């Protein structure tokens, strides 16, 4: 887990520029066909198009592992984390829904 977290945070700091009037967030996509969780760094400046950069792909397809990784990632960054493809799935520890509504991309 430490290697995954290290890779994500290194790539995140590389792409995160504090530019005014720019919205930044992390997006995690569930890929059930390849059984991966894909991490993306998204940024959008006011009046410009969305820029999405792939950060990392988790090969460990386990929600418990993902939950632990996200807890540690949230300690390192305060960026918003959005989820795609997790409709109806729940976190193992709290049984809370991960994603309530389907996203436009699904």
pLDDT in tens, 45-63: 999 999 999 999 999 999 9
**Mean pLDDT over residues 54-73, rounded?**
94
The pLDDT score that the predictor gives to residue 28 is 96
pLDDT band at 22 (very low <50, low <70, confident <90, very high): very high
The pLDDT score that the predictor gives to residue 70 is 95
Following DSSP, what letter does each residue of 39-57 receive, concatenated? EEEEEEETTS--EEEEEEE
Q: Count other Cβ atoms within 10 Å, centred on residue 33.
A: 6
Q: Which of 68, 64, 27 is nearest to 44 (CA)?
A: 27
Phi-psi region of 35 (alpha: psi -120 to 50; beta: other; left: phi over 0): left
């Amino acid at each position: 887990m430490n290697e995954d977290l290290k890779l994500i945070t290194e790539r995140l700091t590389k792409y995160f520029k504090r530019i005014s009037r720019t919205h930044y967030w992390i997006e995690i996509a569930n890929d059930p066909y390849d059984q991966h969780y894909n991490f993306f760094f998204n940024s959008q400046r006011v009046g410009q198009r969305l820029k999405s950069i792939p950060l990392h792909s988790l090969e460990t397809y386990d929600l418990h592992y993902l939950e632990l990784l996200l807890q540690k990632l949230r300690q390192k960054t305060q960026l918003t984390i959005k989820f795609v493809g997790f409709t109806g799935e729940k976190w193992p520890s709290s049984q809370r829904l991960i994603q309530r509504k389907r996203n436009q991309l699904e």
